[in-house]
Amino acid sequence: MGFVSKEVIGNDQVLMVPNVTRFHFGVLLSTMHNAWVRYTCGRLKSDFRYSKDIVYNNFPWPVSLTDAQRAKIEAAAQSVLDARAAFPNSSLADLYDPLTMPPALLKAHQVLDAAVDTAYGKKGFKSDAERVAFLFELYQKYTSLLPTDRPKKRSRSPRVRD
């Protein structure tokens, strides 16, 4: 993921989010969102097929964060961008190769992950499975408050006749 200029036109294989902020970028780049992606995305061969309808629109974003938490995520997201910019001749594939990832980029992602976890009110996830379970609990909490499509019919109490 990255920022592009207004002149860039995406094709049908690219999802573009207009007016995105560094906060959105930071959350979408976090381990929290990536755990969600690995669980909810479709696949074509071994490649993820990120969908706005299934993955993005259903992702449970942190809702009760403070201005300080938002600022921390934005600053950490900027640090990721700065770490990437330090290697202008490297592609994202090169930068994110697990064997050769620059230490500064790895550290920036660790700081970002800690900031995002804090925004969710959680720390110390032991695995992606634990993260996904947490996110599905949030998803259930967020969606259970939505009204149903049809109002429930009221049951009529039996009438008593004299």
47-96: pLDDT as tens digits: 787 778 788 888 999 988 999 999 999 999 999 999 999 999 999 999 99
141-151: pLDDT as tens digits: 888 866 555 55
Tokens representing residue 133 in the block: 């379970």
- Calculate the CA 150 to chain-centre distance: 31
- What is the per-residue pLDDT for 95? 96
Domain residue limits, the chain:
22-123
How far is the CA of 2 from the CAs of 46, 77, 119, in angstroms? 22, 10, 22
* Assessment of whether the complete model's pTM goes beyond 0.75: yes
47-49 and 42-44: which strand pairing?
antiparallel
Higher pLDDT residue, 141 or 105? 105
- Of 52, 29, 30, 50, give the one whose Cα is nearest residue 41: 50
- Calculate the CA 146 to chain-centre distance: 21
